[in-house]
Chains A and B, each alone.
Chain A
């Protein structure tokens, strides 16, 4: 158990809908990262937050947004969903920002299916 929790584990929805994925980092970790894994695209880094501020941005679509709250949990919002958004979404947390060495601890993932 990494100490990172993600909810829900599974999510089935329809095209055009909006969903919110939630991530709770390990106790004390200030950084949260979001990743997408699909058969078509492989693993992609989406975004990183550090103590509430956006720190790094990868291949995150404009339809997707994220935020980190004062209690350090993070949410990834996916809107206007398309079939191609079906994927596993992982979050990870680490104790340090980009300036330090950051061993990441991954949550179990949320499997999103868009029908």
Chain B
């Protein structure tokens, strides 16, 4: 059964610092997604990663995929308050998708 684990579940960081959110999954995958959710809001797609070694960057966020290690990372560079949100990874395999529990990120001044 496909299982997806994210860590940490809660992350409090200061503005200007760097940090990484990890997403581990239990079986092979077809693709991996990262999403953002602001409190009380809907989801926003951030990245879709298809192949081993894939790296995508948007602003202060960079996502990478290592299919051999079954690991994706979401790296935050020089965090700003606007990045405060919950971040989810999700893995698609055999036409089924499973989500991680989410990482609640709080960026403090």
Residues on A close to B: CB < 8 A? 2, 35, 42-45, 48, 55-58, 90, 92, 98, 101-109
B contact residues around A44 at 8 Å (CB): 99
A contact residues around B42 at 8 Å (CB): 2, 90, 106-109
Chain B residue nearest in CB terms to A94 = B45
Complex Cα distance A102/B45, Å? 10
Known contacts A90-B43, A92-B43, A108-B42; is-contact A101 B95 (Cβ 8 Å): no
Residues on B close to A: CB < 8 A? 30, 33, 41-45, 48, 50, 88, 90, 92, 95-99, 101-102
Prevailing SS type, chain B contact patch? strand
- Asked whether, in the complex, the Cβ of A43 is within 8 Å of the Cβ of B48, the reply is no
- Asked whether, in the complex, the Cβ of A56 is within 8 Å of the Cβ of B95, the reply is yes
A4 smallest CB distance to B (angstroms): 9
Query: Known contacts A104-B33, A107-B42; can you find 4 more A-B pairs with CB under 8 A?
Result: A2-B42, A98-B30, A104-B43, A106-B44
